[in-house]
Amino acid sequence: MTLTDNLGRGDRSRQAFLSRSTLLTSLVLIVGMLAVLIFNALPDSNALHVSGATVALLGKYFTYMLLALAVDLIWGYLGILSLGHGAFFALGGYAMGLYLNAQTSPLPGWQSIMSYFPVAALAILLAPGLLALVFGWLAFRSRVTGVYFSIITQALTFALMLAFNRNEMGLGGSTGLTRFYELLGFSLSGEGMTVALFVASGMAVLLAFWLCRAITVSRLGRVSMATRDAEARVRFIGYRVDHVKLALFVVSAMIAGVAGALYVPQVGIINPSTFAPLFSIEVVVWVALGGRATLYGALLGALVVNYLKTVLTGAMPDAWLFILGGLFVLVTMLLPQGIAGVISQWRGKRRDHEGGRDRQEQQDRQEKQEASA
Amino acid sequence: MTPNSSAGGRSLGRLIIECLLLCLLLLWVAVLARPAAAAPAEPKTLLEALDTNSFQAKGDAAQAIADSDIEQKTRWLQALLDGRLGKERRGERFYIITDDSGREWPIIDAITLEDAGTGTRRTVDVFKINNDLRTRLEGLLASLSLSAGDEASRLSAASRLIGEVTADSADSVRKMRDQEKSESVRGQLDVALALFDVQQGDADALETLRGNLDTRVRNTLTPIAAGESALAAEAQSVLGGIESKRTWYDRAQTLFFGLSAGSILVLAAIGLAITFGVMGVINMAHGELIMIGAYTTWMIQQALPGQPGLALALAIPGGFLVAGAFGVVIERTVIRFLKGRPLETLLATFGLSLVLQQLVRSVFSPLNRRVASPDWLQGAWQINEALSLTLNRLAVLLFCLVVFAGLWALMRYTRLGLEVRAVTQNRAMARAMGVRASRVDMLTFGLGAGVAGLAGVALSQLTNVGPNLGQSYIVDSFLVVVFGGVGNLWGTLVAGMSLGVINQVLQPWVGAVLAKIIVLVGVILFIQKRPQGIFAPKGRIS
Amino acid sequence: MSAIDSTLDKSSRLGRLRELARPDRVFDFMAPAQSPVDVRHGPILYLEDVSVSFDGFRAIDRLNLTIDDGELRCIIGPNGAGKTTMMDIITGKTRPDQGQVWFGSRHNLLTLDEPQIANLGIGRKFQKPTVFEALDVSENLELAMAGDRRIWKTLLARLDREGQARIDEVLETTGLTSERYRLAGVLSHGQKQWLEIGMLLMQRPRLLLVDEPVAGMTEPEMHRTAELLTRLAGKQSVVVVEHDMGFVRSIARQVTVLHQGSVLAEGTMDEVAGDPRVIEVYLGGDEEEAA
């Protein structure tokens, strides 16, 4: 009885919006952001000074974290693995790129409307959102699931990559969009802008984190986890599984679009290689390493893998693909719950990872239960 | 002794030394030969006749050269035709330019054919020709090779005459035609003469041209058919016949290209049809197994220089075994532990694909390698003017069918095939009946991987071999398997071939990239439209 | 067992309110208010001449079946008789090649999909207990609770006091009160069966399709299940597919024997058991088959 009660109390917390992990993650994000701002403001001579380049790098990581959240929302909580989320990221990026280009010279044809920021902001959300809506509607209505869904998302982003490589698209062909100078009337080159974009990206991560948290603790979130584990059952108790999937898929695509839009001004270029299947699948390994079905795991994974990438591609460029490939293999075989799984195990609160499905663990507990009964 | 690019192994340094030696030798010969260099008067006179501004006179001079019995006459006329015959600006010597690509041309003396150093635009005046003269020269050259040489060169000369017969040469061509013994050469000459006759208004000659696919025949007939002459109607009908025949052959050609592209898809996908379709294992490293097969071919070829045929023959079992061995290792070390977790398998094997790619990049190089084709795979099988089948593509098509038939028979008639099907349908039951399911898994995966290796061997004959070779096929391969119906070998064959053909049919209208996009999107839509029929056979939930 | 009764009473009251609020049924005040299902003129479930085949195999062959409102019907039959396929057809999972399937006299089930059919009031328990393993017991019940299933409503849904009370009642009924906060994946097989039955109760269906409810249950659990199902009958219609003949005998009033996709015999348990064709199919009482 006491065992159940303990578990029960531990468990209730995951239904509340502000669980311990949510608070902690929010706190780490905010404090980290403030710390970077303060250390950046220190004079160059100071040993603790954080350079503008580092701030820009961290800002880029934030956009990756945003993208990881988007993938985790549908993979971790809904069980649909998209190998084409880079496409939504890139669409958001292209929308932003068009807006930035329009600041220096007027764009031809329909693209000219992209010079207004509200239109561009709308496009950043709608372009990926609409693609996800149409694609998801077709896929989920016909019950394309599992690896089949993964494969056609990969084909989707591949097809888009080919399309965006064409000069006829009017989006710069294989060079993509570049030569950005101004955002909202401010020059993109100054360090002030770097810091502003860093803060904007950080805030976006925080907001998206809260949004995802709110969704996953809602009844809709539980329906989505139920869908992940027993889709047919959900249908037979009367939920429209295709609508649930579509709704979360579109939200996820929009988050990815925002991530892409924030990424572009910080990196200064967007080209069709963002559509490459490799990039999309790399995002999946961030989430897998961090721990799928935990939002903080996705954030952590994106940060860790990209930091590794930055360090290693500089130090030993040849080794990077070995390490990335090795990560894929090792994480799936040895760490199915990712870093988050290790953390929660280490904390001894084995039930706390939200909806994580560790059959082995469940079996263990079942045996323990039976032994004690 | 020209540098032979296919010699491959010869080092650049040695090549330079050889060239230097050659130059020295030539110089020495030139010095020795100087006393004898007093050119015979007659050739020089003939050449001097070319040095005039009148194209008519030049033509007559060329005719005179052709009529003479000088050894070098073919060479001169050819050089004149190519714009490579010229006269020393401040001198009396005539030169043939052997290579006019650069600013400084290597030249040889036209009469002695000895090396004469280099010339430039300033030092050599090239004899100019116009279109009339070009036609005349071509006719002359054709007649020259018609009167001499073996059958092959006579045939090509006769074929060159089509559309080039003029009133001047018609009689001589007719004479030659009567003397000609070879059937095929005579056929070509008949066409050439008939074309000339039709131009002169001879309606009977049209019959000879009926159904002829030669472009020149069509080009000549088109204005006649459009014209007002008495022949117009009949020419139109002949032209119509030619056009419809051409369209038909064009379609056959497109079909062939489509099938050949499709057969590559099938080869790439058929291994997946086994590992993914039959076993349900998502192997994203499949493309890299193809790449391993291709590299195996390359390595065997490196080990057997100069014997591409033997190397290719050895590469077929070699590629199968090497890729198969990789497959078995992958199955034992990774896939076995991820049974029943398809998404994890997908990620882990994707990681493996990255590792394998980087491995190849580190061990060999990131550069593409060229695998030589044996002679019997080079060139094309020219069925007629409108239809020619490239031999290597034809071979890949046949190879694909053989591999498919082999696999099908293996799955259908052998013990392994039976066990594989048993394990796929009911693993527990198969095990209960004494099938060693784990061993079957290993062998099946090894088989799928081995077939990927075979695909690599075939691909090496069509394209360069590089670390990214496999990557470009993985998306397509999965789509083919899924499109054809998972677990269905015939479906894979049909799907691969039809995707190849559709792609090829679309290409002339929308271009290669857009055609590919359309096919991709089409397959995506198709999959979403008919997932039950393709993914899961109808049945009850348990 | 009074808990169930009060659950059901409350459910019909709620249902009435809900029906009035349904925007898609503006003129339905003409119809009986309790349920959208019209059973005034006949049975609640009506299958006529239904056939379906998979790859040439006829799983259901010209099946005719009628279930009356409030009836408890047991369906037995050897493996491959088409029992599960029949349930698939009723719940919209499988479309028959021919035939008619009506829910009451108004709803043609062949035009509806699974969620629509479920929301009309047909609940189904699977052969293999299927619960949401990553959610705890009370969450499983909460998801199954009748309510607005639309996305936005689901996102904003809160568990009110009434809903909480219903969950408590069902937990009581199914004997899972002490397990309410445990993950469903950790439950024993029998407990999962109960949880799934509990989820059915939360759905407040007019018709329950129960596929092998007592597989893996202990003897006392079986008794409880039998009691529960007989209680439910009368207010709701229940169709039970079961292999356990003892269990069938203990609850059955009407038994239908399926064989090779069509009805072989129908009647009381004793009538059916005496039927020579049935005896032949079962080969002298080889009743306990592997599932």
CATH of the domain at C73: 3.40.50.300
For residue B487, is it within any domain? yes
CA distances from A260 to A66, A213, A228, A240, B504 (A): 9, 21, 27, 30, 35
Domain contains C288 = no
Contact residues on chain B for A324, CB-CB shorter than 8 A: 351, 354
Calpha distance C263→A368 (Å, rounded) = 47
**Higher-confidence residue: B25 or B66?**
B66
Q: Higher confidence at residue A210 or residue C194?
A: A210
Tell me whether residue B208 is in a domain: no
Sort out which chain C residues have CB atoms less than 8 A from A15's CB and list them.
Answer: 139
Closest Cβ opposite residue B541 in set C54, C55, C93: C93
Chain C: residue nearest A12 by CA?
A: C181
Identify whether B475 is part of a domain. Answer: yes
Which residues in chain A are closer than 8 Å to B337, comparing Cβ atoms?
Answer: 333
Q: Which of B101, B129, B157 is the last residue of a domain?
A: B129
Interface probe for C, chosen from B425, B488, B540 (most Cβ of C below 10 Å), is B540
Do the chains contact at B351 and A158, CB–CB below 8 Å?
Answer: no
Interchain CB distance below 8 Å, B541 and A232: yes
How far, in Å, CA of C122 to CA of B378, rounded? Answer: 69
CB contact under 8 Å between A281 and B350, yes or no, is: yes
Residue B493 pLDDT exceeds 70:
yes
* Residue C123 scores a pLDDT above 60: yes
Q: How many domains does chain B have?
A: 2
Neighbours of chain B (3+ CB pairs under 8 A): A, C
CA distance A109 to B39: 72
A356/C135 Cβ within 8 A: no
- Cβ separation A223–C143 shorter than 8 A: yes
Show which of B72, B96, B129 is a domain's final residue.
Answer: B129
Give me the mean pLDDT over the A345-372 stretch.
49
**Which of B90, B113, B118 has its CA nearest to residue B102?**
B118
Q: Among C142, C150, C149, C189, which residue's Cα sits nearest to residue C168?
A: C142
Which one of B342, B354, B541 has the shortest CB-CB distance to A324? B354
| CB-based contact, B329 to chain A, within 8 Å | no
> Which residue out of B429, B541, B542 would a mutagenesis test of the C interface target, given it has the greatest number of C Cβ atoms within 10 Å?
B541
Mutation test of the interface with chain A: which of C88, C133, C171, choosing the one with the most A Cβ atoms within 10 A? C133
Whether residue B258 sits in one domain with residue B394: yes
Tally of domains within chain C: 1
Q: Among A21-30, B284-293, B377-386, C27-36, where is mean pLDDT lowest?
A: C27-36
Contact C181 A12 (CB under 8 A): yes
Residue contact A81–B343, C-beta within 8 A: yes
Q: Which domain does C148 fall in, by range?
A: 36-282
From chain C, the residues in CB contact with B532 under 8 A are none
| Residue B17, in any domain of the structure | no
Chains that touch C (3 or more CB pairs under 8 A): A, B
Q: Find the domain containing A237 and state its range.
A: 2-372
Residue B339's domain comprises 249-534
Hey, is A44 helix, strand or coil? coil
Could you read off the pLDDT of A14-73 as tens digits, one per residue? Answer: 556 777 788 888 888 888 888 888 888 877 777 777 787 888 899 999 999 999 999 999
CA–CA gap between residue A111 and residue B306 (Å, rounded): 58
- Quick one: pLDDT at residue A259? 94
- Domain count for chain A, please give it: 1
Q: B538–C55: do the CB atoms touch at under 8 Å? A: yes
**More reliable by pLDDT, B451 or B60:** B451
Q: Distances from the Cα of B504 to the Cαs of B254, B379, C62, in angstroms?
A: 6, 21, 48
d(CA C13, CA C36): 14
Give the residue on B whose Cα is nearest the Cα of C125: B542
CA–CA dist C286, C265 (Å, integer)? 17
For residues A228-239, average pLDDT: 86
Look at residue B319 and tell me if it is in a domain: yes
Residue in C closest to B532 by C-alpha: C94
Average pLDDT on B178-190 reads 75
CATH number for position B263: 1.10.3470
**Residue that is written with structure tokens 């909460």 in the block:** C142
Among candidate residues B100, B129, B158, the one where a domain is terminated: B129
β-partners of residue B97 are: B107
Q: Tell me if C9 is assigned to some domain.
A: no
| Among chain B residues, CA nearest to A81 | B343
What does the pLDDT look like over B197-235, one tens digit per residue? Answer: 777 767 676 667 666 777 777 777 777 767 767 677 777
Q: Are the C-beta atoms of residues C245 and C252 closer than 8 Å to each other?
A: no
Q: What are the tens digits of pLDDT across the range C218-229?
A: 888 888 888 888
- The answer to whether B297 and B312 have CB atoms below 8 angstroms apart is yes
CA distance B341 to chain A (A): 10
Q: Does residue C242 sit at the A interface (CB-CB below 8 Å)?
A: no
Residues of B in contact with C290 (CB under 8 A): none
Residue B93: inside a domain, yes or no? yes
Of A8, A15, A238, the CB nearest to C149: A238
Residue of A nearest to C133 (CA): A229
Minimal CA separation from B465 to chain A, in Å:
20
User: Highest-confidence range of A157-161, B73-77, B434-438, by mean pLDDT?
Assistant: A157-161
Does residue B255 share a domain with residue B125?
Answer: no
Read off the pLDDT band of B451 (50, 70, 90).
very high
In whole angstroms, give the CA distance from residue A302 to residue B402.
47
Is B455 a member of any domain? yes
Spatial distance between the Cα atoms of B501 and B495, rounded to a whole number of angstroms:
10
